[in-house]
Amino acid sequence: MGCKRDNIAQAVALISAIPGVNIKNISSLYETEPWGKTDQDKFLNQVIEIETSLPPKELLRELQNIEIKMGRQRQEKWGPRLIDLDILLYGNEVLDDPQLIIPHPHMRERLFVLVPLAEIGADLRFPDNGATVREVLSSVLAREGNRGIERI
């Protein structure tokens, strides 16, 4: 919702201001068809790589505080929103907690995650099964095709 590029730029700036967080790499922006709830505007997505001294749940709290600060209101699952910040991977950790699942439970199905992630880390390995981002992306593309993802 709103000016998507500005929302993402603001979120990246706020993430970089979190004590104990250092941004290492940023993907290009990608415009994609909506996922989950499809009767809404296209999504704008980006993946950033950070280095952090924060434990996963504390990082999640910081990201959720940024979403709130930016005006996000959780009204409808997968519905329109100003910003959506997720932890996709956290080093080699595997976490299955009611608050946080790492690796992100849906990331292997979503081109809007896999394509920008592959841009900055195609050889990253999923800690739970050892597959690389490149391998998972290749499998999804072979099964589903491009499905409207465009680098902008």
Please indicate whether residue 84 is annotated as part of the active site: yes
Determine which one of 5, 41, 74, 86 is catalytic: 86
Residue 41: CB atoms within 10 Å:
11
What is the pTM (predicted TM-score) of this model? 0.87
CATH of 4-151, one of 3.40.50.880, 3.40.190.10, 3.30.460.10, 3.30.70.560: 3.30.70.560
Please indicate whether residue 86 is annotated as part of the active site: yes
Contact assessment for residue 45 and residue 112, using Cβ atoms and an 8 Å cutoff = yes
Please report where in the chains the tokens 């902008």 appear, as a residue. Answer: 152
Cite the DSSP H helix spans in 3-147. 4-16, 56-69, 111-121, 133-144
Determine which one of 61, 84, 108, 134 is catalytic: 84
Please indicate whether residue 72 is annotated as part of the active site: yes
Please indicate whether residue 61 is annotated as part of the active site: no
- 24-80 residue pLDDT tens: 999 999 998 776 666 667 889 999 999 999 999 999 999 999 999 988 565 655 455
